[in-house]
Structure 1
Amino acid sequence: GASRAFAVADHQVAHVYVRNQHDVDRVEALLEEVSGIDRVFNRKKQTAIGIDHERSGDLVVLAEPGCWFTYYFWMDDARAPDYARTVDIHRKPGYDPVELFLDSGIRFPKAHIAKRLMQKKFGFRYLMDVIGLDATVVRGSHGRLADHGREETDSPVFVCSSRAIEADAVAVTGVKKQLLQLQFGV
């Protein structure tokens, strides 16, 4: 689109793509000043921690503990896409923890849900539009890289019953290879 830089956000991680490579340093400096952002990884820093991939953003941004990035790309809630107010993991561009909460603006949410279920029963088209757009209702977070020194206790776990792909550690970028090896022996 029209943006010089845009982010693809997935909870506590965002990939930032910059149209003109001459702007990357400037965008990095701007992001480092934003409240709620813990770290900004340029390509060199991505390589150093093993998250460099050809489709990674020019910058990868990590939220501070307790903070997260929404995928909301609109400025006016009236212009939000239909899927924003529903549980729709396939159309949303990232994880949306707001889906865990009913819209507090719906006066009788159970009645609203019952109405939607009746519409479904009678064959009408409907949206189960019961999710709010207030991201502040989310209090917890997940998805951060482990802090230095806490990798053993705070990192993701890769568990498998097959010894064919047994390893003490698997790089984030190596998970695909491990799964292909397990499934197809490749």
Structure 2
Amino acid sequence: LRDTLQERLGTFPLFQFWGPGANIKSTRWIADASMLTDELHDPTLTLIYLPHLDYCLQKFGSDVSRTSKELGEVDEVIKDLVTYYESKDANVIILSEYGIVPANKPVHINRLLRENNLLQIRIERGLELLDAGASKAFAVADHQIAHIYINDPQVKEKVRELISKLPGVALVLDEQGKKDYGIDHERAGDFVLVADTDAWFTYYFWLDDAVAPDYARCVDIHKKPGYDPVEMFMRSKGRAAYKLLRKKAGFRYVMDVVPLNATLIKGSHGSINVPEAFYPVIISGQVPTGSLMEATAVHDVIWNTLMQDEL
């Protein structure tokens, strides 16, 4: 299938899927690949992820004047998909993976832990790297959720006290709290933090940008110890062009074009108790318009739709 899709559609436009160059091309490729796969194999269930609105809503929040172009672009793709699948008598479900809320307050948990001698770093080529194994505690952040892992049980209460007082933290879930929210997985952090609705958690651990790790200024999701939405921004087009010229000329280069300014982000997700206007949505013949449902109930909607098709 991979070879067929690439032969017909070209390789997946990875650099238009994430990073400063993200645009509608990756979403269009996914949609075209989905329809082509349906024509070739007629699957019973097709799950199609359209990432396009993820970018602009995190960059600009709910400012429609900044996101209207992207809304129009993804609307055209969805129209093509719905038209195609309805022509095949498929039952179409449109689902938001999550709702993005306005959030412009970055919260630096790892910096707090470091300032209190709980997080360790090591120096490589004059730059700082987080040393999770040597740290007494460290955070792995993802949007408005963060997991705090504690290697030294003796500091657990100190960590609890510190993070409970950190501005931007709405909830600190301990063992009982994780059970209450159904996230007491064996790999969950010793504490799980939930941000205020207008805040989000960074992975930043350095205290001086001059010694930030080289990957901090790059699109490098596999090296960073946490999610970094600032990868969607570019320090300058001129710098990016210069780096590309070095690449084409055969010189060594580092594509360090990402800024270290977390205040650029204007939207995030994962917090709870958000206004209903920012809830995710589901559009399906099985769900009454305007009704509310638990996220886990989406499974039943999909399953019942499949069973209906089998009758």
Normalised by the length of structure 2, the TM-score is 0.45
- Work out whether 1:147 is the aligned partner of 2:279: no
How is 1:25-64 mapped onto 2 (pairs within 5 angstroms)?
25-64=157-196
* Residue of structure 2 equivalent to 1:178: none
**Aligned letter for 2:196?**
E
**Aligned letter for 1:141?**
S
C-alpha contact (below 8 Å) 2:197/2:273 kept by paired residues: no
> SS in structure 2 opposite 1:51?
coil
C-alpha contact (below 8 Å) 1:31/1:40 kept by paired residues: yes
**Aligned letter for 1:26?**
K
By how many angstroms is 1:84 displaced? 0.6
By how many angstroms is 1:55 displaced? 0.9
* Residue of structure 2 equivalent to 1:66: 198
* Residue of structure 2 equivalent to 1:98: 230
> SS in structure 1 opposite 2:186?
coil
* Residue of structure 2 equivalent to 1:13: 145
By how many angstroms is 1:29 displaced? 2.5
By how many angstroms is 1:148 displaced? 8.3
Q: What is the root-mean-square deviation of aligned Cα atoms in Å?
A: 2.8
By how many angstroms is 1:15 displaced? 0.7
> SS in structure 2 opposite 1:23?
helix
By how many angstroms is 1:125 displaced? 2.1
Distance 1:50 1:10 in 2: 18
> SS in structure 2 opposite 1:125?
coil
C-alpha contact (below 8 Å) 2:197/2:274 kept by paired residues: no
- Work out whether 1:81 is the aligned partner of 2:213: yes
> SS in structure 1 opposite 2:179?
helix
Structure 1 169/72 Cα, relative in aligned 2: closer, same or farther at 3 Å?
closer
Normalised by the length of structure 1, the TM-score is 0.72
C-alpha contact (below 8 Å) 1:10/1:93 kept by paired residues: no
- Work out whether 1:138 is the aligned partner of 2:270: no
By how many angstroms is 1:133 displaced? 0.7
How is 1:123-134 mapped onto 2 (pairs within 5 angstroms)?
123-134=250-261
Distance 1:86 1:169 in 2: 34
- 1:120 corresponds to which of 241, 247, 250: 247
How many residues are paired up? 157
> Structure 2 unaligned runs (5+)?
1-132, 285-293, 300-311
Deviations 1:19-78 (A, max 9, x none): 233432332232111111010000111011100111111100111112111111212212
Structure 1 83/17 Cα, relative in aligned 2: closer, same or farther at 3 Å?
same
**Aligned letter for 1:18?**
I
Greater C-alpha radius of gyration: 2
**Aligned letter for 1:125?**
R
**Aligned letter for 2:193?**
V
Structure 1 93/65 Cα, relative in aligned 2: closer, same or farther at 3 Å?
same
Distance 2:137 2:182 in 1: 23
> SS in structure 2 opposite 1:170?
helix
Percent sequence identity is 50
> SS in structure 1 opposite 2:207?
coil
